[in-house]
Amino acid sequence: MAEDVVVAGVGMHPFGRHSGRSLKDLARVAGLRALLDAGIGPQGVQMVYSSNAMAGMLQGQEMVRGQTVLREIGIEGVPVVNVENACAGGSTAFAQAVMAIRSGAADVVLAIGFEKMFVADRSRTLDALESAADLDVVAGLGIQFTAVYGMRLRARLADGSIARQDLADVAVKSHANGVRNPYAQHRVQVTAAQVLESRAIADPLTLLMCSSICDGAAAVVLARGGALPQPGRPTVRVLASASTSGFTLDPAGGPSGATLCAQRAYEQAGAGPGDVDVAEVHDAMAPAELLYAEQLGFCPPGDGARFFRSGATALDGRLPINPSGGLASRGHPVGATGLAQLAELTWQLRGEAGERQVHRPRIALAQNSGGWLEGESAAVNVHLLERTQRWT
Amino acid sequence: MDLADALDRAPTGERPRFDLAAGALVGGRCADCGATAWPARAVCHRCGGADVRLGTFARAGTLVSCTLVMVPRPGLEAPYMLGQVRLDDGPVVFGQIIGLDDAEAVPCPVTVQVSADRYWFTPAGLQEPTGERQDETRVSSDETGG
């Protein structure tokens, strides 16, 4: 790698329902926590990539969203790039920040994501979510994200490689991790029976398997290696950053966008899926974790359920997945999610993840997908992070 | 055919999407590589060529997966069924499935149905539809997001 890029600071505003708080309030808390964690002030930020998906439709702030929230925390007069990539906007901001530092354009860059999905009229939020697809093609069909994941999973139930019980058990695991995460939206332990008995949303998905409407923010300070010395703290560096947009499905089949990005990321890092110690994957519906375990190469195709049943993906397993609770339990404020994943993995690699800390991880993978282009996500980013110091 | 020819392609709003006489979808087929897309695009997504020709796809396809959606959307009463269909000589498309009683039968053959401005699928062999569509009812929304 030409230039080391490190994660110098991370911060979040707790995910959940925050009716009395504005986008500025959410972004203020996440942004300031990331700056404090990095040991810098607002004037230390040289460039910003700001992610938000829905404030145009939901708050009416169609333009310059980043600038409007950043001046609340004293960041102005620097390049601010507003990023929108549906549910993958946060990791897209991160990927751009990595490129900015590698290019030499800046040494210290803030990636920040914020979203406020709770509004008075819920149908507006659903309308906004539906616009993460090509409306010219699919408007009026009633394609909701729950249905998209329902179709992906239904085919696997049909071929017998995933059982309904697995879907419920993954949601139980997701909630169990969320309980341990002070930033999580849903911090309630549930049983498999409760999951299966909860309201049907889109067969085979039930309410307790699905992420929900959420408010929240997350931020990451990235820096050129050495630009912000942090003696006494483990260094987390960016090993790989791979992105793709969606593509038209080949009727004959082929690899997913997540698989293509993961392959590129592994290649960049000179590593493979067997080297990953902890992962945050895009489980907008908890059982999606089973599919992504396969697509990211953690287990052979078709083996996602078996891999999960082995306990490998539990907090104490050999490859814990979504220790934060994932999108389904931590919450999924669309434009902030990708950065929340990267914040979680940074805490995990540093050993600062509290009750949900996994055992001494060295390499972490984040996969964040957004939007839908009739079968494939419209945007995918996969990042690999590495702890450079040995655990002692 | 030159890429510049795509500059003069008909506006998207003027490209046909349905062949009412044939009861089928009309999309694009690349004359160079054969890749198909619905609706038709100006440039081929697979080879980058501009010799994309309008064509009528087969009515027959395979329902690859489906889901019964329990959350209503404006204009759609719940439950409604959505499915992923691989057309026999065309692309993968998504749409409503009407008249499929046994979702456990998937994958199964389906037939595309079209009206002036919509399309949907019915199980193969089912009687031709009456053309009746779901009521246009504005309904309340749900807390589940994406």
A37 closest CA partner among A13, A5, A9: A9
With CA atoms as reference, report the closest residue to A14 among A33, A35, A42, A40: A33
What is the DSSP pairing of strand B119-123 with strand B108-114?
Answer: antiparallel
At A306, give phi and psi (nearest 5°).
-60, -40
Nearest-Cα distance to chain A for B71, in Å, is 6
- Residue (of A177, A192, A205) closest to A322 by Cα position: A177
Tell me which residue in A142, A155, A374 faces B69 most closely, judged by beta carbons. A142
Contact A122 B65 (CB under 8 A): no
CB contact, 8 Å: B42 with chain A? no
**How many alpha carbons fall within 13 Å on the CB side of residue B29?**
13
Q: What is the rounded distance in angstroms from the CA atom of residue A390 to the CA atom of residue A24?
A: 38
Annotation marks residue A332 as catalytic: yes
Which residue ranges does chain A devote to CATH 3.40.47.10?
A: 5-122+213-224, 132-210+235-387
Render pLDDT for A169-195 as a digit per residue (tens, 0 to 9): 999 999 999 999 999 999 999 999 999
CA dihedral A189, A193, A199, A204 (to 10 degrees): 110
Q: Answer whether A58 touches B (CB < 8 Å).
A: no
Q: What is the pLDDT of residues B25-56, one digit of tens each?
A: 999 999 999 999 999 999 999 999 999 999 99
pTM confidence score: 0.95
pLDDT digits (tens, 9 = 90+) for B83-136: 999 999 999 999 999 999 877 889 999 999 999 889 999 999 876 655 444 433
- A135 shares contact with chain B (CB less than 8 Å): no
| Non-local CB neighbours of B93 within 8 Å, separated by 6+ positions | A374, B25, B38, B61, B84, B85, B87
Closest Cα to residue A380, out of A17, A89, A49, A179?
Answer: A89
Altogether, the residues listed in chain A come to a count of 392
- CA–CA distance, B9 with B43 (Å, rounded to integer): 9
What is the DSSP track for B97-146? E-S---GGG-SEEEEEEE-SS-EEEEETTSPPP-------------SB--
- Calculate the alpha carbon distances from A260 to A85, A296, B118 in Å: 18, 9, 34
The CA distances from residue B65 to A140, A221, A287, B62, B100, in Å, are 20, 42, 16, 9, 12
Chain A: residue whose CA lies nearest to B45: A248
CATH architecture classification, A5-122+213-224: 3-Layer(aba) Sandwich (3.40)
Nearest to A212 among B12, B39, B144 (CB): B144
Question: Amino acid letter at A332?
Answer: H
Check residue B128 and give its pLDDT: 60
**Strands A108-116 and A215-224, bridge-based pairing:** antiparallel
CA distance A117 to chain B (A): 9
Tell me what pLDDT residue A1 has. Answer: 45
Tokens of A197: 């008995």
Q: Give rounded-to-5 percent helix, strand, coil for chain A.
A: 40, 20, 40
Q: What is the pLDDT of residue B103?
A: 79
Contact A43, A251 (CB under 8 A): no
**Separation of alpha carbons A379 and B131, rounded Å:** 37
Name the CATH superfamily, with its identifier, for domain A132-210+235-387.
Thiolase/Chalcone synthase (3.40.47.10)
CA distance A286 to A170: 6
**Who contacts A342 (Cβ-Cβ below 8 Å, separation ≥6)?**
A7, A10, A90, A91, A94, A218, A220, A280, A366, A383, A385
* Cα-based distances in Å from A374 to A258, B39, B40, B136: 15, 12, 14, 24
pLDDT at B143 over 90: no
CA-closest candidate to residue A333, choices A280, A284, A383: A284
Q: State the smallest CA–CA distance between residue B137 and chain A in angstroms.
A: 12
| ω into A323 cis (within 30 of 0) | no
Q: Answer yes or no: do A375 and B73 touch at CB < 8 A.
A: no
User: pLDDT tens, A135-154?
Assistant: 999 999 999 999 999 999 99
Q: Which residue of A has its CA nearest to B119?
A: A141
Q: Considering A13, A87, A210, A383, which one is annotated as catalytic?
A: A87
CA distance A339 to A64: 20
Pairwise CB contact (< 8 Å): A249 & B91: yes
Lookup result for tokens 């929304």 = B141
| pLDDT at res. B135 | 38
- Complex ipTM more than 0.85, yes or no: yes
Residue in B with minimal Cα distance to A17 = B143
Whether the CB of B80 is below 8 Å from some CB of chain A: the reply is: yes
Q: In terms of Cα–Cα distance, which of A146, A87, A107 is closest to A338?
A: A87
The predicted model gives B11-36 an average pLDDT of 97
Look at residue A263 and give its three-state secondary structure. Answer: helix
Tell me which chain A residues have a C-beta less than 8 angstroms from the C-beta of B144: 144, 146, 201, 207, 210, 212-213
Q: Which residues contact A261 (CB under 8 A, 6 or more apart)?
A: A242, A243, A244, A367, A380, A381, A382
Cis, peptide link before residue A273, omega less than 30° from 0: no
Chain B closest CA to A385's CA: distance in Å? 26
**What pLDDT sits at residue B127?**
62
Residues ≥6 apart with Cβ < 8 Å to B92: A249, A251, A374, A375, B64, B84, B85, B86
Residues of B in contact with A125 (CB under 8 A): 141, 145
Tell me the two tokens of residue A185: 């939206």
- Helix A145-158 and helix A288-295, axial crossing angle in degrees, nearest 10: 70
Which residue from B minimizes the CA distance to A129? B146
B82 and A158 in contact by Cβ < 8 A? no
Q: Do A146 and B69 touch (CB under 8 A)?
A: yes
The token pair that represents A169 in the structure block: 């058990």
List CB contacts (< 8 A) between A138 and chain B.
94
> Chains A and B: how many Cβ contacts under 8 Å?
137
Contact between B146 and A249 using a beta-carbon 8 Å cutoff: no
Instruction: Report the residue from A144, A199, A205 with minimal CB separation from B73.
Output: A144
Residue B62 contacts A where some CB pair is shorter than 8 Å: no
Residue A386 corresponds to which tokens in the numbers above? Answer: 């590495």
Transcribe A270-337 into DSSP letters.
T--GGG--EEE---SBTTHHHHHHHHTTSS-TT-HHHHHHTTTTSTTSSS-B-TT-HHHHH---GGGH
Phi and psi angles of residue B55, each rounded to the nearest 5 degrees, phi first: -155, 155
For residue B129, what pLDDT is reported?
52
Ranges under pLDDT 70 in chain A: 1-3
Distance between CA A128 and CA A333 in Å, rounded?
Answer: 12
Which of A138, A141, A210 should we substitute to test contact with B (largest number of B Cβ atoms within 10 Å)? Answer: A141
The answer to whether A316 and A359 have CB atoms below 8 angstroms apart is yes
Q: Quick check: A117 and B145 CB within 8 A?
A: yes
